[in-house]
Amino acid sequence: MSELLIEEKNIVIPGEEIAKGMDFLPSTGTFREGESIFSKNLGLLEVRKHVIKVIPLKGNYMPKGGDDVVGIVRDIGFSTWSIDIGCPYHINLTVSDAVKEYVDLSKADISKYFDIGDIISVKVTNVTKSKMISLTMKSYGARKLEGGRLLKISYSKVPRLIGKKGSMIGMIKEKTNCRIHVGQNGYIWINGPAEGQSLVERAVDMIEAQAHTSGLTDRVKEMLEGVKND
Amino acid sequence: MTKRPDNRKPDEIRPMEAEVGVIEQADGSAMFKVGDTIAMAGVYGPTNVLPRHMEDPEKAIIRSYYDLYPFSVPERKRPGPNRRSVELSMVIKNAVLPSIFVKEYPKTQIELYTNIIQANAGTRCAAISAASLALADAGIAMRDIVSSVAVGHYKDQVVVDINKEEEDIADATDIPIAYMPRMKKITLLQLDGKLPNKKMKEVIKLGIKSCEKVYDVQKNALKKKYQNMGE
């Protein structure tokens, strides 16, 4: 007999028993011990049929293959850039992964492609067991993000910032006239009019604080419209 | 049976309070208060390890720093680490380590700061309880929450959570216990003093029972943080 002990959308704490029996499958944020499934993180419980998932409410980003992220160029080497994507590991982006044309390294200065402080949109191709991380710019949407500035949000709140089928981010873009690019690591690039940028910042802060509550899109919309009319 | 100085029952813990997310700049933080003892914990990480040679390719390393604030004790404590605080840092680290999935964070470090704001016996236990809450708040993957309490023995009786007054009674011994309630495992058991052979079982039994009470307070604190925030 399998049974679910806690209802969906409840807050669970590490080590809390979520379900008994082998009919349920543990997904991210959970683990199985004996016949039961327990939570690994402090987070929101999500149940899809028989797959159990816990979405952490906080925590540092851990990269995985296939993620589209936003990064900052921190240093330039002979043939690589070192990129900060908000994870604990050192990441290099090589010239061959970044530039389409042939680059003669004996003559070229690669800072003409990306310089220190530049913000780029990039894809994580692979993460090995020993956490060697490779990035590529040869992917749809991967490019240098010109101008603008960077905001940060907890990576686990990115789905909330985007919303169902992009409803939240679309609404924010429309109300603030800003261009926004969200990476799965929680780095957000924004560019646009100054008033719009400060509005985006307020909206992001609001989502960071209230990501676990329902009806958030409406409240953010209200806030953005309220400020505009003042 | 002799009365306790503050008229508590032998199995009565001083009033407890716990709060999560008290330090905004930290990745995770918590306050744990038992009677007049107040502990604060802050967690930073997982981050990259510096110096690099200390990193472990298989798992995260925990760096623990415990200290008393100068104003936490009746006579001013000189700030900075000393023999006692270095030892207790290690004790706290070893007590919380079994609860963390360190293998999920290879080549990283997790920094754990525990500070005592006000001391009235049982500071290492309050620090462990706070540290475990702070780790959970930081979103670190854990098997269980660690709860901790000190059991004491004096005048031939076993009592839980002794305060400073009881600690100063001649022949008083305290036995700090840390326990993972779900896994039913003890992660810390210290004994600095004398205890009759036969009493050890009683001490551990009372310790485990009391740790479960601490666990309820911790659990409520973690859940309360997010229930209050949604209007």
Task: Summarize pLDDT for A72-131 with one digit per residue, the tens.
Answer: 999 999 999 999 999 999 999 999 999 988 999 898 899 999 999 999 999 999 999 889
**CATH architecture assignment, domain B16-229:** 2-Layer Sandwich (3.30)
User: How far does the CA of residue A61 sit from the closest CA of chain B (Å)?
Assistant: 9
Task: Categorise residue B103: left if φ over 0, alpha if ψ from -120 to 50, beta otherwise.
Answer: alpha
Tell whether B106 lies on the interface with A, counting CB pairs under 8 A: yes
Closest Cβ opposite residue A14 in set B105, B144, B227: B144
**Could you report the predicted ipTM of this complex, rounded to two decimals?**
0.91
Closest Cβ opposite residue B139 in set A56, A89, A209: A56
Surface of A (76-135) touching B: CB under 8 A: 88-90, 129-131
Tell whether B222 lies on the interface with A, counting CB pairs under 8 A: yes
Tell whether A57 lies on the interface with B, counting CB pairs under 8 A: yes
Residues of B in contact with A214 (CB under 8 A): 230
Cα-trace Rg, chain B: 18
Q: Determine the Cα–Cα distance for residues B146 and B173; give it in Å rounded to an integer.
A: 23
pLDDT band at B230 (very low <50, low <70, confident <90, very high): very low
Residues above pLDDT 70, as percent of chain B: 98
Stronger pLDDT, B92 or B231, i.e. the higher one = B92
Residue B229 has pLDDT above 80, yes or no: no
Secondary structure element (H or E) that encloses residue A20, with its range: strand A17-20
Nearest CA in chain B to A41: B141
Round the average pLDDT of chain B to a whole number and report it.
Answer: 94
Residues of A in contact with B47 (CB under 8 A): 60, 88
Residues of B in contact with A83 (CB under 8 A): none
**B86: number of Cβ within 10 Å:** 14
Q: How far is CA B73 from the centre of its chain?
A: 18
Inter-chain touch B183–A15, beta carbons under 8 Å: yes
Nearest CA in chain A to B110: A88
User: Nearest to residue A202, comparing CAs of A184, A222, A230?
Assistant: A222
Task: Categorise residue A164: left if φ over 0, alpha if ψ from -120 to 50, beta otherwise.
Answer: beta
pLDDT band at B192 (very low <50, low <70, confident <90, very high): confident
Surface of A (155-214) touching B: CB under 8 A: 156, 209-210, 212-214
User: Nearest to residue A147, comparing CAs of A176, A178, A171?
Assistant: A178
Q: What is the mean pLDDT of residues A144-172?
A: 92
Inter-chain touch A15–B143, beta carbons under 8 Å: yes
User: How far does the CA of residue A181 sit from the closest CA of chain B (Å)?
Assistant: 24
**Which DSSP symbol is given to A227?**
H
User: How far does the CA of residue B136 sit from the closest CA of chain A (Å)?
Assistant: 6
**Selected residue of A5, A9, A13, A39 to mutate for chain B interface (largest B Cβ count, 10 A):** A13
Domains of chain A: 3-56 (2.40.50.100), 68-145 (2.40.50.140), 149-229 (3.30.1370.10)
pLDDT, one tens digit per residue, over A171-192 is 999 999 999 999 999 999 999 9
pLDDT, one tens digit per residue, over B132-171 is 999 999 999 999 999 999 999 999 999 999 999 999 988 8
User: Nearest to residue A55, comparing CAs of A152, A153, A156?
Assistant: A156
Residues of A in contact with B136 (CB under 8 A): 13-14, 41-42
C-alpha distance across the termini of chain B, in Å: 51
pLDDT value of residue B2: 77
pLDDT, one tens digit per residue, over A26-72 is 999 999 999 999 999 999 999 998 999 999 988 889 999 999 999 99
User: How far does the CA of residue B87 sit from the closest CA of chain A (Å)?
Assistant: 27
Nearest CA in chain A to B105: A62
pLDDT value of residue A230: 66
pLDDT value of residue B228: 65
Nearest CA in chain B to A29: B141
pLDDT value of residue B231: 41
Q: Determine the Cα–Cα distance for residues A183 and A71; give it in Å rounded to an integer.
A: 8
